[in-house]
Amino acid sequence: MKHRFFLEFAGLALAASTLGACASHPESHTPLAGLTAPHGTDAAAWSAARRFASLSFGRIAYVERGAGDAALFLHGAPLNGFQWRGAFDRLCDVRRCIAPDFMGLGYSDVPEAQPLDAAAQADMLAALLDSLGVSQVDIVASDSGGAVAQLFLVKFPQRVRTLLLTNCDTEPNSPPPKVMPVIELARAGTLAAATAAWLTDPDLARSTLGNAAFQNPAILTDEVIETYAAPLVSTPKRQAQYHAFHTAFVPNPLAGIEAKLLRTNVPVRIVWGQSDDIFPNEDAHYLDRTLPGSRGIRFVPGGKLFFQEENPDIIAEEALRLWKAP
C-alpha cells in the first residue's frame, strides 16, 4: 500500500515544494480473440456506479458489475478501484467484478479509530464479501493490494479460487526501500499536502507519479488525477487516515508469511511490469518459487508499477487463461 509511484515523487515534487455493455517462466502471448471494450468507462460512469456497504469497519466504497462467479480487484496506492475500469470493461461478461476502495484510500469512509494495516484490510474484504453474498473469489491484485491479497489467501484460503498477482509487495521486499521516503512524509504529516498539489497542478502529477509508475504518463488525465487525489485530501480526517495507511506498513506486514504461502495450493498467475524498479523482477521470481500453485510469470516489456491501467487487455487475457485452466 505504499506510494510506489511516490518513488520519484518524494524526491522531485517534495523537493520543489460507461460502464460498458454488461451491467516461473517469462512468456509472451498472442491476445485472445473476443476481448473487446466498445465503451471505455470514464470517471463519471465509475462514480455513478459506486455503492457503499455498511460494515463494522465503516462505509466501504465499491463498484460491482457483471454476474456469475465473483472476481475481486484490489488496487494500489494512492489509487482506488477506478484503477480496474479497463479490466471491468473486458471481463464483466464472464465474472461478477467487484472493486472496493481500501480503508484510508479512495472513497471508503471509516471511523477515526479504525486500524488501517494490511491485516485489517483483509478482514474488511471478508466482511464485504459476506455482505454481498460472495463465498469465493478470483483475486486480481496490484501493488499494496497484492500484500493484502497474500494475507487474505493465508487467512481465508477456502475463499480464494485463483490469484493473479501483478507488481506488489513480497515478504523480502515490504516496504520497498524506495517507498521509505514516502512513509517518512506520512509520519511527518506532509504527504497529504504534497498530494493535494496535484489537484492544482496536474502536470506535476504526470511528471512525478506518471513518470515513476506509468510507461505513458499521459494516461493521468486531469479527471483521473481528480478521481485518485481528491478523496485523499478532502477532510482533515481523510488526510490523517491517508498518512496512517502508509505508516501502517512499518513493520513489514508480510513478515513470516512465506511458510504459510508455501502451504497454499490455489492456482496463481504472476504478471509483472518488467521496467518497474520499485518491485523489481526478482520479486516476481520469488513469488513464482514460493507459491506452489504458480503457473509461471508473464513479464510486460516496458511496464512499470501501474501497467495494469495502461494495458487492461493483458490483465483480461491472463485472467481468462487462469480462470479457464483446469
Pick the more confident residue, 6 or 76.
76
C-alpha cell at 321: 487463461
The answer to whether the beta carbons of residues 291 and 156 sit under 8 Å apart is no
pLDDT in tens, 51-62: 999 999 999 999
| Signed CA dihedral, 17, 11, 184, 76: sign only | positive
List 268's β-bridge partners, or say none: 163, 294
- Over 50: is that where the pLDDT of 160 sits? yes
pLDDT on residue 32: 39
pLDDT on residue 22: 63
Region 110-137: mean pLDDT is: 98
Burial class (CB in 10 A: 0-12, 13-18, 19+), 218: exposed
pLDDT in tens, 231-290: 999 999 999 999 999 999 999 999 999 999 999 999 999 999 999 999 999 999 999 999
Question: Would you kindly state where each structural domain of the chain is located, as residue ranges?
Answer: 6-23+38-324
- Over 60: is that where the pLDDT of 11 sits? no
DSSP string, 203-255: HHHIIIIIHHH-SSGGGS-HHHHHHHHGGGGSSHHHHHHHHHHHHTT-S-TTT
- Over 60: is that where the pLDDT of 121 sits? yes
pLDDT on residue 24: 36
Residue 2's pLDDT band (cuts 50, 70, 90) = very low
pLDDT on residue 40: 86
pLDDT in tens, 164-184: 999 999 999 999 999 999 999
What's the rounded Cα separation, in Å, for the pair 174 and 151? 13
What's the rounded Cα separation, in Å, for the pair 266 and 237? 38
For 177, 184, 210, 241, 325, the CA distances from 248, given in Å and listed in that order, are 15, 12, 25, 10, 37
pLDDT on residue 136: 98
pLDDT in tens, 26-42: 343 333 333 444 458 99
Cis peptide before 175 (omega within 30 of 0): yes
What's the rounded Cα separation, in Å, for the pair 111 and 240? 11
Pick the more confident residue, 68 or 35.
68
- Mean pLDDT of the chain, nearest integer: 91
pLDDT on residue 239: 98
Residue 202's pLDDT band (cuts 50, 70, 90) = very high
Instruction: For 6-23+38-324, give the CATH class.
Output: alpha beta
φ, ψ of residue 310 to 5 degrees: the values are -85, -25
Residue 114's pLDDT band (cuts 50, 70, 90) = very high
pLDDT on residue 182: 95
